[in-house]
Structure 1
């Protein structure tokens, strides 16, 4: 393909609307993504039917796109009879992760049933290799990670994600709620484990790992809560970071992901529009340097693929991933997009050469260069292939390159050169020069990306799949101009493909606004009696004394049809408001105390509520924001996870009426100190309903414990 004229900003024409999988699938869950050497992007989904009414599972379906917005189904990784040799007949293959490792593509996936074990769900991690992103895929003869017994059951050995560190060591992250998240080192070919695995996140909170390295930190992003509860799915993505790929990972507030009160900084949460249950993601960087997230979500008005309570319909979504104050967050915290007009990724540059044709019409100095099987090759000598179009301003340039021998290859940018050799990555600008080692060299395809911002040049070498595992990084302040000519430089044999220059993305640095309390409208400080509260099933054990409401946690619940728990209710102010309480509940740590909890509730009826409480979930202590509602002649319940609790936790429900449809939106927040707040997801109630605000303390009477509420306050939202 010849050079594209026009400004680099024209590389992102038009707009897009979620879900981006709509053109080929109604559901495409757990998406993975790579960019192929052919310049196309490839996405891989979990094994489900693609369309409503189809009724037949696709075994790891594959889609292709040139722009990350319009996708086309191109086939399945495996046919009906192409299970791994260690998989039981009828096994499902879930949650693929695909990487380009040393000249071939490696696909990791979950295998639901493994031979040699009597248990139905003895999960393992499998792998297959292929010469191209679409195959043909060849199964390995044994699992990469075998089933891990736990008593009479097996740990959730699921949801693999591969990562290659800067020293060339390869790792595999895996695991799920039952058993936690783990990391193991891999052999150089990525197909066998090395040494002992390390646990990196507590069980019963996370699944769907994904790890990236940025600015010296390793970021572990993982999904939390339930993936598949239809209209009450509260899935979301949380993050922690560490200075080692083995952790320990902590969140923005320093809370460990391995603690009983496990941390996790929100990356994406449902925001009150059509999308709920947003999670299990992959990440990528476009040609401008902007990061993006591919993930699945559920349309709350169409949550199932066919009949109710069957397969959850989880189409693929695409949204911008920002880095604010050192932490990743989707659309600066605004959450998933659902309207037309979103700016798409930059997938074409002002210079954009894929070498699909026979000529080099957009280049100068073509002698000795030849287009060969979709890429350009230099066989010997020292030469520069110069683009007829120059570069200027702040921009990002990149190329895929390969060194068949002992030469060098790279980019010339103004007065600087950036080259890769067997010795490493070298940036030269005038008399300034810096070299770092490149583990493994560039005997197979690598991606070289160079960012120019003012006089600062930053070069990175990653795998050709462009998934952001930097193998070598150099940052240099240049004494010479970095504008002017642009070209490919080689000494000796070298291959180049997918050359681009695009205007550098301007990072979003300000978070999206979250609700803030303004004027105090009403409060109960519990200094006299229970005031204007109304009871549903009054509990005479609740009492006000010493300025607090002391309420023994009941052996009762609201979830389901039993409806035995008590609720204290009051009518909130009209309009937008924030309800806040401070609750002390000593649940200890690690011991199983299911499901003792206390907190706030937005309540319409016993079968229609949103409950925000600190709660014991097996060995963990979490702040769960659960929703129950009637759906298709049943009750549906699911939860969204907010921030980690403390012994004393502050809770908020921010109420907003959507002027477009009259829906009541309630966004949840929690705090461990009453000052720093973590905002979670949004649950909605239809127009015409009048949710009241209440308190609850239930879930289990043993061991006996009191919930102590210091106050309930209502603020006007600023």
Structure 2
């Protein structure tokens, strides 16, 4: 196993953001993390693509930096003099080249606190910001930068994973030479951290990167496992999602060094790490893993489909007893894609394109989420969504999640509000009635899902567009529809932005990987 050594890094003078208040924020690929302020309050920070940031105390009101940071690259809040600070990454991708011609492509960052990071002055502890920079759909790189406060600016440390390289001199949409000698691979091979150049990484006599096998190096996301080990997931489409363990002292990958297979037959690549999902250019990106002490599971979220409003973007869920997998869905299937397979067969689909009857605008392409479990043990699903209004405008939404009886976190049907509560003490007669339901299905659908209507009868029967049985206990609800069993939570929720309408709702996950939401029609 090999580990790249960190260079000497000194912290830049630290910032305190000047912010303006907003009711909504537009952050693509939002990653959430939290800190405690001087009064002991938990403050949540969002970081997203194109150097977007925001913070909040309650997920209801947001503070946003006063200046649009993507238009301020010469003195950026996060990266200072961005072109200079991230110059090593930009030699490969992300600045004034191919798809980033005339500007920058800095995407999908994730920030984590690391007690063990060692600065060049001997001090310890850093916020580590991992980011991706990209010039084509395959030539990308993941780097990281560090700061002593979460608001930065962040000092560049290293570029740690490259993609889109070739064995020989070649190009892919610009004059950049994609020879692997222009990445960190040559040094890693020379110092024997990695056992040579793999023939699996390239095709066509070494002139083209093999995207059926190897990942696109974007969308890094970090987490600690139950033993305190630090991990990074990453990848988008191409060869799938991979995971690497990191050395907490310097934030560098512990590259496997040798190729191999996991006990369940998944790829271990000498450079890219262990494969978790995907392959053969099936959609899948924005991977995010969170560990829950109560269930002792690691939960993997991956987004399928295309990110545009009509691209079919949707979030999928898997879980594992180990950080390195295997991750399985509700049907017990692994999301490793073989040639010719379709990814729609794998993963609990949490949310598709939907609109309840009372909503003026529907929601499309919800995805690239992060998840946080707060200091009280409450779960929040944070994602960006587009809308059914003919535009590509996107905004952040936050939904609570609740653990069902089978150990799956189910997202509430409506966005989080502070008057939301589990309906623990209701009688059959209070729950019974007509419900508009959304069955999110399992496809990567690009059209709006049509809602249906069912009636929950007091005698435990379900009639209407679906038929079956239902039962409840202390806020948990179970729907049995044919051979499929859906388990979830009954909630009393605010169902509009004004706070004037509340309703009894339910959210369930089925053993067939489908999610069904319900909204009572009073």
TM-score of the superposed pair, with normalisation by structure 1 = 0.41
Shift of 1:578: 12
Shift of 1:280: 1.1
Structure 2 counterpart of 1:218? 298
More helix by share: 2
Does residue 61 (structure 1) correspond to residue 52 (structure 2)? The answer is: yes
Q: What is the SS of the residue equivalent to 1:168?
A: coil
Structure 1 counterpart of 2:346? 263
Structure 2 counterpart of 1:45? 48
Shift of 1:656: 6.0
Distance of aligned partners of 1:577 and 1:63 in 2 relative to their CA distance in 1, 3 Å threshold: closer
Q: What is the SS of the residue equivalent to 1:86?
A: helix
Does residue 112 (structure 1) correspond to residue 125 (structure 2)? The answer is: no
Partner Cα distance (1:135, 1:328) in 2: 33
- CA deviations 1:288-308 (Å, max 9, x no partner) are 32211111101221522xxxx
Q: What is the SS of the residue equivalent to 1:251?
A: coil
- CA deviations 1:413-472 (Å, max 9, x no partner) are xxxxxxxxxxxxxxxxxxxxxxxxxxxxxxxxxxxxxxxxxxxxxxxxxxxxxxxxxxxx
- CA deviations 1:589-635 (Å, max 9, x no partner) are xxxxxxxxxxxxxxxxxxxxx9x9xxxxxxxxx844343xxxxxxxx
5 Å-filtered alignment, 1:501-580, equals none
Does residue 202 (structure 1) correspond to residue 270 (structure 2)? The answer is: no
Partner Cα distance (1:285, 1:134) in 2: 21
- CA deviations 1:469-500 (Å, max 9, x no partner) are xxxxxxxxxxxxxxxxxxxxxxxxxxxxxxxx
Partner Cα distance (1:78, 1:296) in 2: 23
Structure 1 counterpart of 2:61? 70
Structure 2 counterpart of 1:407? none
Partner Cα distance (2:418, 2:299) in 1: 25
- CA deviations 1:201-234 (Å, max 9, x no partner) are 0221321111112222211111111112x3x242
Of the structure 1 ranges 258-267 and 155-164, higher mean CA displacement relative to structure 2 is found in 258-267
Q: How many residues align?
A: 330
Partner Cα distance (1:33, 1:255) in 2: 28
Q: What is the SS of the residue equivalent to 1:146?
A: strand
Distance of aligned partners of 1:168 and 1:506 in 2 relative to their CA distance in 1, 3 Å threshold: same
Does residue 253 (structure 1) correspond to residue 331 (structure 2)? The answer is: yes
Structure 2 counterpart of 1:239? 317
Partner Cα distance (1:98, 1:345) in 2: 30
Q: Contact 1:233–1:277 at 8 Å: present in 2 too?
A: yes
More strand by share: 1
Does residue 182 (structure 1) correspond to residue 198 (structure 2)? The answer is: no
Distance of aligned partners of 1:120 and 1:295 in 2 relative to their CA distance in 1, 3 Å threshold: closer
Between structure 1 and structure 2, the one with the greater Rg is 1
Q: What is the SS of the residue equivalent to 2:238?
A: coil
5 Å-filtered alignment, 1:278-317, equals 278-301=366-389, 303-304=391-392, 313-317=393-397
5 Å-filtered alignment, 1:76-475, equals 76-79=77-80, 81=83, 82-87=85-90, 88=93, 89-90=95-96, 91-102=104-115, 103-113=125-135, 121-140=138-157, 142-147=158-163, 149=165, 150-151=202-203, 152-153=208-209, 155-189=215-249, 191-196=251-256, 197-203=273-279, 204-214=282-292, 215-228=295-308, 230=309, 232-259=310-337, 260=341, 262-273=345-356, 274-301=362-389, 303-304=391-392, 313-324=393-404, 325-331=406-412, 334=413, 336-337=414-415, 343-344=417-418
Partner Cα distance (1:577, 1:292) in 2: 22
Distance of aligned partners of 1:319 and 1:624 in 2 relative to their CA distance in 1, 3 Å threshold: closer
Q: Which has the higher contact order (CA 8 A, sep 6+)?
A: 1
Structure 2 counterpart of 1:308? none
Q: Contact 2:89–2:133 at 8 Å: present in 1 too?
A: no
Distance of aligned partners of 1:190 and 1:280 in 2 relative to their CA distance in 1, 3 Å threshold: farther
Partner Cα distance (1:44, 1:224) in 2: 21
Q: Contact 1:129–1:138 at 8 Å: present in 2 too?
A: yes
Q: What is the SS of the residue equivalent to 1:85?
A: helix
Q: Contact 1:22–1:315 at 8 Å: present in 2 too?
A: no
Partner Cα distance (1:193, 1:301) in 2: 43
Shift of 1:678: 8.6
Shift of 1:284: 1.7
Unaligned residue ranges in structure 2 (runs of 5+): 1-19, 70-76, 97-103, 116-124, 166-201, 257-272, 357-361, 427-433, 455-464, 467-480, 488-520
- CA deviations 1:74-100 (Å, max 9, x no partner) are 264235534342214334110111101
Shift of 1:139: 1.1
Partner Cα distance (2:218, 2:372) in 1: 22
Shift of 1:36: 2.3
Partner Cα distance (1:675, 1:26) in 2: 42
Task: Spell out structure 1 runs of 4+ moving beyond 4 A.
Answer: 505-510, 576-579, 653-657
Q: Contact 2:313–2:444 at 8 Å: present in 1 too?
A: no
Partner Cα distance (2:291, 2:366) in 1: 23
- CA deviations 1:117-158 (Å, max 9, x no partner) are xx6741111111111111020112x31212254442463211
Q: Contact 2:25–2:62 at 8 Å: present in 1 too?
A: no
Distance of aligned partners of 1:240 and 1:344 in 2 relative to their CA distance in 1, 3 Å threshold: same
Task: Report the aligned-residue RMSD.
Answer: 3.9
Partner Cα distance (2:389, 2:311) in 1: 12
Partner Cα distance (1:144, 1:345) in 2: 44
